[in-house]
């Protein structure tokens, strides 16, 4: 149905990108920390943002620039969040102007984002110099550099590309993301920039984005903290030549399915790279009375600090799963609940009908020592399904965040 490829934001037709070390943080002398993404034509565009009331001024500027549903470029820096600063709006607009000058586009057609430390004034001079370094240097190979440039405490780059068919035409979706800590459901803590050569109207692009994010990025939690800077933006060049999607028809539904699959791939990469994490946790809830109930339960389990700690220790403490289900607020008959743990080493049932069953602790530990753990919850109440993504809670999470600013 969908074919996943090597690549990122430059995989779709029309897009190039680049990332450089601009030393936004003076102490950074080697890591790329400034990225540009560009399309050779004006795109239909849409975005969704953090639900936190404290927001970076980059969000206000991007919202204003997307009022007409159009964009042609993205500029984004790491190392400084440009949040809670008196001159934040001015600096965000300056970043757009810098990108516009380098790329030959209108500043109103630039999406801007920042990530890093909150409450420190964003130095604009390094950004100006860094953008100038990229003049004429954006390329199809530059997407991976852009993916590196948006990283903060991430340990690996997160990028993806995939193809699908719409209206008889091959369509490509590409994306990059960052996020490791300060990640919680309702737009994570993350930045993600997605490109496609599909022909989709701005209105339908926005609708598709909001639908796809619900079953992907909004199902991720690392530590329960929702960031001030979360931005997920998408640009569609239309160069694939498919009949433009202007209504919620079959092509629209297929496009939403493709976006959801793409976002889920990136969401899992975000969760597995949680700060200090050693394991990806996926809670799969089936046979719920309703989709909202399945969502509540999967989110509750994945957010449980006690459960996350148990998974770090490879301890099959299934009672913590039941506890999280119990306070989730979902309509559930706890006497029907079943729980199993699953990994590449196999599967083991630990709870049936709300009560423990005999199981081998040795086998359970072998299963839970793997890098990806599925927590399988069956409810016996209906047919609804949902899954959420998280990670274990380790000693290193505290170490990383104990001196993040200093």
From 164-178, 189-203, 392-406, the region with the lowest mean pLDDT: 392-406
Within 10 angstroms of residue 125's Cβ, the number of other Cβ atoms is 10
CA-CA distance, 98 to 103, in Å (whole number)?
9
CA-CA distance, 292 to 386, in Å (whole number)?
9
**pLDDT per residue as tens digits for the range 319-372:** 999 999 999 999 999 999 999 999 999 999 999 999 999 999 999 999 999 999
Q: What is the location of CATH 3.60.70.12 in the chain?
A: 3-272
Q: State the angle between helix axes of 319-326 and 305-312 in degrees (0 to 180), rounded to the nearest 10.
A: 160
CB-hemisphere CA count at 13 Å for 133?
Answer: 17
Percent of the residues in the chain that have a pLDDT greater than 70, as a whole number: 92
Q: What are the E-state strand segments in 7-66? A: 15-20, 34-49
| Residue 270 or 223, more confident | 270
Assign domain 280-402 to its CATH architecture.
Roll (3.10)
Secondary structure of residue 142 in the 3-state scheme? helix
| pLDDT on residue 274 | 67
Instruction: Give the global pTM.
Output: 0.85
**pLDDT per residue as tens digits for the range 10-69:** 999 999 999 999 999 999 999 999 999 999 999 999 999 887 788 889 999 999 999 999
With cut-offs at 50, 70 and 90, classify the pLDDT of residue 70: very high
CA-CA distance, 3 to 265, in Å (whole number)?
12
| Residue 400 or 317, more confident | 317
Q: What is the location of CATH 3.10.20.340 in the chain?
A: 280-402
| pLDDT on residue 188 | 43
Measured torsion, CA atoms of residues 298, 302, 307, 309, in degrees rounded to the nearest 10? 170
| pLDDT on residue 185 | 52
| pLDDT on residue 277 | 77
With cut-offs at 50, 70 and 90, classify the pLDDT of residue 269: confident
CA-CA distance, 220 to 328, in Å (whole number)?
16
Q: Are 228 and 118 in contact (CB under 8 A)?
A: yes
| Residue 180 or 154, more confident | 154
With cut-offs at 50, 70 and 90, classify the pLDDT of residue 403: low
The rounded mean pLDDT for the chain is 91
Query: At residue 396, does pLDDT exceed 90?
Result: no
Query: At residue 293, does pLDDT exceed 90?
Result: yes
Strand partners, 282: 374, 389
Query: At residue 392, does pLDDT exceed 60?
Result: yes
With cut-offs at 50, 70 and 90, classify the pLDDT of residue 226: low
**Range list of H helices, 273-385:** 291-303, 305-312, 319-326, 361-368
Secondary structure of residue 81 in the 3-state scheme? coil
From 46-50, 79-83, 188-192, 282-286, the region with the lowest mean pLDDT: 188-192
Percent of the residues in the chain that have a pLDDT greater than 90, as a whole number: 74
Secondary structure of residue 296 in the 3-state scheme? helix
**Rounded mean pLDDT of 239-248?**
98
Domain spanning 3-272: CATH 3.40.50.10490? no
Residues classed as catalytic = 189
| pLDDT on residue 56 | 86
CA-CA distance, 342 to 352, in Å (whole number)?
15
| pLDDT on residue 275 | 67
| pLDDT on residue 222 | 59
Q: Are 203 and 241 in contact (CB under 8 A)?
A: no
């Amino acid at each position: 149905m969908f074919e996943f490829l090597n690549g990122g934001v430059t995989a779709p037709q029309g897009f190039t990108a680049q990332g450089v070390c601009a030393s936004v943080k003076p102490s950074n002398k080697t890591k790329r920390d400034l990225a540009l993404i560009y399309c050779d034509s004006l795109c239909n565009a849409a975005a969704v943002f953090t639900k936190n009331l404290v927001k970076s001024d980059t969000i206000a500027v991007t919202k204003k620039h997307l009022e007409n549903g159009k964009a042609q470029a993205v500029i984004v820096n790491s190392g400084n969040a440009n949040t809670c600063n008196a001159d934040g709006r001015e600096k965000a607009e300056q970043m757009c102007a810098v990108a516009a000058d380098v790329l030959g586009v209108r500043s109103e057609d630039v999406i801007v984002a920042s990530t890093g430390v909150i409450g420190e004034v964003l130095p604009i001079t390094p950004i100006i110099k860094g953008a100038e370094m990229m003049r004429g240097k954006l390329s199809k190979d530059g997407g991976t550099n852009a993916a590196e440039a948006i990283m903060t405490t991430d340990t690996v780059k997160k990028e993806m590309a995939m193809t699908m068919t719409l209206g008889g035409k091959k369509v490509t979706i590409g994306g990059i993301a960052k996020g490791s800590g300060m990640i919680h459901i309702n737009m994570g803590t993350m930045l993600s920039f997605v490109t496609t050569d599909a022909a989709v109207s701005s209105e339908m692009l926005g609708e598709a984005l909001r639908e796809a994010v619900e079953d992907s990025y909004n199902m991720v939690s690392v530590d329960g903290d929702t960031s001030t800077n979360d931005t997920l933006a998408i640009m569609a060049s239309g160069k694939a030549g498919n009949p433009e999607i202007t209504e919620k028809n079959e092509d629209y539904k297929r496009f939403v399915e493709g976006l959801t699959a793409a976002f889920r791939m990136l969401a899992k990469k975000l969760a597995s790279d949680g700060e200090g994490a050693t394991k990806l946790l996926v809670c799969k809830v089936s046979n719920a009375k309703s989709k909202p109930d399945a969502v509540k339960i999967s989110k509750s389990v994945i957010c449980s600090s006690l459960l996350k700690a148990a998974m770090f220790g490879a301890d099959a403490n299934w009672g913590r799963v039941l506890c999280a289900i119990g306070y989730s607020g979902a309509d559930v008959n706890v006497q029907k609940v079943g729980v199993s743990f699953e990994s590449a080493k196999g599967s083991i049932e630990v709870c049936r009908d709300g009560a423990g069953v005999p199981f081998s602790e040795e086998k359970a530990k072998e299963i839970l020592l793997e890098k990806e753990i599925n927590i399988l919850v069956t409810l016996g109440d209906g047919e609804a399904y949902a899954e959420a993504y998280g990670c274990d809670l380790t000693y290193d999470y505290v170490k990383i965040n104990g001196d993040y600013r200093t």
